[in-house]
Homo-oligomer: A and B are copies of this chain.
Amino acid sequence: MHAGSMQKAVVLVSGGLDSATTLAIAKSAGYACYALSFAYGQRHSAELTAAARVAEVLGAVEHKIIALDLSSIGGSALTDMHIAVPDHPSAGIPVTYVPARNSIFLAVSLGWAEVLGAQDIFIGVNAVDYSGYPDCRPEFIAAFERLASLGTGAGAAGKPFHIHAPLMRFSKVDIIRRGMALGVDYSLTISCYAADRQGHACGVCDSCRLRRRGFVEAGIPDPTAYR
């Protein structure tokens, strides 16, 4: 089908495993995908390079990177160099939680969706392996969907928005299996919270640990480049 006649969707793409799988799912569902990433003051730019690769290889119509300096707000190990990324699982909400990050990312996605005439937004959040992040819960996604339809011209005109979180109930193994079935090349993705400039993963942070275990449990060779 020609891209011009397909329904458009904005897909949040971080460069990690989950969002790459989400993009592949949106594509396979027939959407013309507009990939959105943020330069938000994260520790390493390797993930933005990965996001660009993922968007291209998985056939996004366009990939936009928006600069938004959340490090000036601070409060997270992912954006504040003074807070160390932990090398062991933590109780409660981890220090890698970026305050209100998914609210912010979804709000900007919503703005772009409205300009594009899209009513669908995809985000790779996950309530199973979500490491305690409050903005990865189904109730949060439902609340944003309601906000989206109330706070936009399109919504006010009777065109509601749909926030798709297709990985919500998936385990990491489920995600990897689904992505492999859709042909995702996970060697392009970076999940590590503390990757180096070359994109090599640390292997010990929460995110690396979950990803590594996912490949082992799925019985699939882990394509991650560790340092």
Contact = CB atoms under 8 A, between A and B. Distances in A.
Interface of A: 64, 66-70, 72-75, 93, 97-104, 106-108, 110-112, 114-115, 134-135, 137, 139-140, 143-144, 146-148, 150-153, 155-156
Nearest to A146: B143
B99 A110 contact: yes
A74 B112 CA distance: 8
A221 to B, nearest CB: 36
Given A66-B68, A104-B108, A137 B150 contact: yes
A74 B64 CA distance: 12
Contacts of A114: 75, 99-100
A35 to B, nearest CB: 14
A75 B115 contact: yes
Which 7 residue pairs across A and B have the least CB separation, nearest first? Answer: A75-B115, A100-B111, A99-B114, A134-B156, A103-B107, A135-B151, A99-B111
